[in-house]
């Protein structure tokens, strides 16, 4: 079987669960199978947005991120359910446990997708046989459908898994790139959003093939280093390894909320920012990190979205300092029109223990007052261990809080390691 694998290079699988939330609900309640089903953030209010939907709903025109009122207009018989994140986490953990039966090199990307490096798994069969076994096992044990891409690198594997849904298995080799990849619109390419596609169109790049042969100097001037990276991807070049430890990495922490009504009153917007700052601060403390930059998101009534941030001289973690910075960013960047959504994000994260605070003239006096407390804590930690004292906010979330976390937070997988059993990954 070893001859089915490359002598040089890797064999990468991208496993992508199909309509994951809707599929998990249908697996839990078989009466939902074959029906148009949507999972929405808040079915009772205007803020209700389709998080995901079944393929039966998609055939009626329902799409992810579509407002609920619009989805119901297209599909009057649509069944709408609130998300059950505990249920989805359990299914996700079980899915990754199945993947880990085939290789130690499993990298969760989100709650419903992950990469596998099966280069050294040739004793289990050919790449296609392994993919078929994984697909069948996930269906048999969890009653969940998935699509799998097989390729020599992550980018091509991800692209391949999207080609046949649901329940598809696609092989994409480098020699297939000119015929399969290059004729497609550049907007279809992973890593190219609407704004990037528009910029590329401005210099005559409309297909993945034209990106693959684009002038590198022109690309770098337009998109920076990311332009060169995208050109490599268009040529099937992606040196990234499958990294089982990547699930422990996080680059930013943020929270956003769609307002119950459009708000143009600054005081009310400040109150919303206060609630968001509280949530962001709690998550920073829980992860024991600080943010070296802060940004806010403002979405207006016409859905125009503005993101503005600031690199900070001193890292932040507390609610009050986050709130003050967020207020400043809002006052500076808000045009006065009614606001539909607000968000706060802390980025450039660093461990609280390692972070060095550059004290300026304004913060020195305040910090100096805390010095006796810091010394006391230092003595206690040195004597009894650094975990003897911790902020209450750094403790593990309660079960009640888990239910309110967003779908895209993969914190629950940070302890996942191939070969773990059920509750060991919690």
Burial 4-26 (b: 16+ CB within 10 A, else e): ebeeeebbbbbbbbbbbbbbbbb
Give the DSSP H or E segment for 70: helix 68-74
Question: Domain locations in the chain?
Answer: 176-234, 248-413
pLDDT at 402 over 60: no
First vs last C-alpha separation in the chain:
37
Taking alpha carbons only, the member of 15, 7, 5 closest to residue 121 is: 5
Nearest-angstrom CA–CA distance, 270 and 1: 63
Tell which phi-psi region holds residue 418, choosing left (phi > 0), alpha (psi between -120 and 50) or beta.
beta
Nearest-angstrom CA–CA distance, 280 and 319: 8
Cβ(38)–Cβ(53) under 8 Å?
Answer: yes
Mean residue pLDDT of the chain comes to 84
Q: What is the DSSP string of 185-231?
A: BGGGSTT--HHHHHHHHHTT--BHHHHHT--HHHHHHHHTHHHHHHH
Catalytic residue among 25, 97, 107, 113: 113
pLDDT (mean) for 105-112: 90
Q: Scanning the structure block, which residue is given the tokens 């929405």?
A: 40
| 16 appears as a binding residue in the annotation | yes
pLDDT at 4 over 90: no
Cβ(114)–Cβ(13) under 8 Å?
Answer: no
pLDDT at 110 over 50: yes
pLDDT, position 38: 95
Nearest-angstrom CA–CA distance, 136 and 88: 20
Query: Which among 247-256, 337-346, 392-401 has the top mean pLDDT?
Result: 337-346
Please state whether beta strands 169-171 and 106-110 pair in parallel, antiparallel, or not at all (unpaired): unpaired
Nearest-angstrom CA–CA distance, 161 and 147: 6
Q: How many helices (H) and strands (E) does the chain have?
A: 14, 12
Higher confidence at residue 6 or residue 152? 152
| 112 appears as a binding residue in the annotation | yes
Q: Which of 19-23, 205-209, 310-314, 344-348 has the lowest mean pLDDT?
A: 310-314
Neighbour order of strands in the sheet with 339-351? 252-263, 339-351, 289-300, 305-316
Residue 59, classed as helix, strand or coil, is: coil
- Distant-in-sequence, close-in-space partners of 184: CB < 8 Å, separation ≥ 6: 207, 208
pLDDT (mean) for 179-203: 94
Nearest-angstrom CA–CA distance, 355 and 395: 20
Q: Scanning the structure block, which residue is given the tokens 């770098």?
A: 220
pLDDT at 138 over 70: yes
pLDDT (mean) for 203-232: 96
pLDDT at 100 over 50: yes
Nearest-angstrom CA–CA distance, 318 and 271: 16
Q: Which of 212-216, 231-235, 236-240, 252-256 has the lowest mean pLDDT?
A: 252-256
Structure tokens at 165: 């849904």
CATH class for the region spanning 248-413: alpha beta
pLDDT, position 375: 52
pLDDT (mean) for 144-167: 97
Q: How confident is the model at residue 352 (pLDDT cuts 50, 70, 90)?
A: low
Nearest-angstrom CA–CA distance, 161 and 383: 53
pLDDT at 406 over 50: no
Q: What are 47-82's pLDDT values in tens digits?
A: 578 989 999 999 999 998 888 999 999 999 999 999
Structure tokens at 421: 């059993």
Nearest-angstrom CA–CA distance, 46 and 39: 15
Q: Which of 185-189, 251-255, 399-403 has the lowest mean pLDDT?
A: 399-403
Nearest-angstrom CA–CA distance, 263 and 335: 12
Hey, which CATH number is domain 176-234, 1.25.40.390, 1.10.150.20, 1.10.3720.10, 3.30.420.10? 1.10.150.20
Task: Respond yes or no: is residue 113 known to be catalytic.
Answer: yes
Nearest-angstrom CA–CA distance, 351 and 290: 6
Q: What is the DSSP string of 310-347?
A: EEEEEEE-SHHHHHHHHHHHHHHH--SS-EEEEEEEEE
Cβ(78)–Cβ(32) under 8 Å?
Answer: no
Q: What is the DSSP string of 246-291?
A: GGG---EEEEEEEEEEEE--HHHHHHHHHHHHHHHHHHHHHHTEEE
């Amino acid at each position: 079987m070893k001859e089915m694998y490359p002598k040089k290079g890797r064999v990468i699988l991208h496993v992508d669960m199909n309509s994951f939330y809707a599929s998990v609900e249908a697996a839990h309640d078989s009466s939902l199978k074959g029906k148009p089903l949507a999972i929405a953030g808040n079915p009772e209010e205007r803020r209700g947005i389709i998080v995901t939907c079944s393929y039966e709903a998609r055939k009626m025109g329902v799409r992810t991120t579509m407002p609920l009122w619009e989805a119901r207009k297209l599909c009057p018989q649509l069944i709408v359910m609130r998300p059950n994140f505990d249920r989805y986490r359990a299914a996700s953990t079980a899915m990754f446990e199945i993947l880990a039966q085939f290789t130690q090199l499993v990298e969760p990307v989100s709650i419903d997708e992950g990469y596998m490096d099966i280069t050294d798994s040739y004793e289990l069969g050919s790449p296609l046989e392994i993919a078929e076994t994984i697909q069948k096992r996930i269906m048999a044990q969890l009653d969940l459908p998935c699509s799998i891409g097989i390729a020599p690198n992550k980018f091509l594997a991800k692209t391949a898994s999207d080609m046949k849904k649901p329940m598809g298995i696609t092989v994409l080799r480098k020699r297939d790139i000119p015929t399969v990849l290059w004729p497609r619109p550049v907007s279809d390419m992973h890593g190219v959003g609407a704004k990037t596609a528009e910029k590329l169109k401005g210099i005559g790049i409309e297909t993945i093939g034209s990106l693959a042969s684009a002038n590198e100097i022109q690309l770098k001037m337009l998109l920076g280093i990311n332009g060169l990276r995208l050109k490599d991807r268009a040529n099937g070049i992606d040196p990234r390894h499958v990294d089982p430890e990547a699930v422990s990495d996080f680059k930013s922490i943020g929270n956003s909320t769609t307002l119950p009504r459009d708000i143009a009153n600054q005081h009310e917007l400040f109150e919303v920012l206060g609630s968001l700052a509280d949530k962001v601060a709690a998550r920073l403390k829980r992860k024991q990190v600080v943010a070296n930059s802060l940004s806010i998101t403002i979405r207006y009534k016409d859905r125009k979205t503005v993101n503005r941030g600031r690199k900070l001289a001193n890292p932040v973690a507390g609610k009050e300092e986050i709130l003050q910075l967020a207020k400043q960013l809002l006052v500076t960047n808000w045009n006065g029109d009614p606001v539909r959504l607000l968000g706060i994000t802390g980025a450039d994260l660093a461990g609280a223990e390692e972070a060095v605070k550059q004290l300026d003239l304004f913060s020195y006096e305040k910090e100096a007052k805390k010095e006796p407390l810091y010394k006391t804590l230092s003595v206690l930690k040195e004597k009894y261990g650094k975990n003897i004292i911790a902020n209450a906010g750094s403790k593990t979330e309660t079960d009640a809080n888990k239910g309110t976390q967003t779908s895209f937070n993969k914190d629950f997988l940070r302890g996942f390691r191939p070969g773990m059993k059920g509750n060991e990954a919690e």
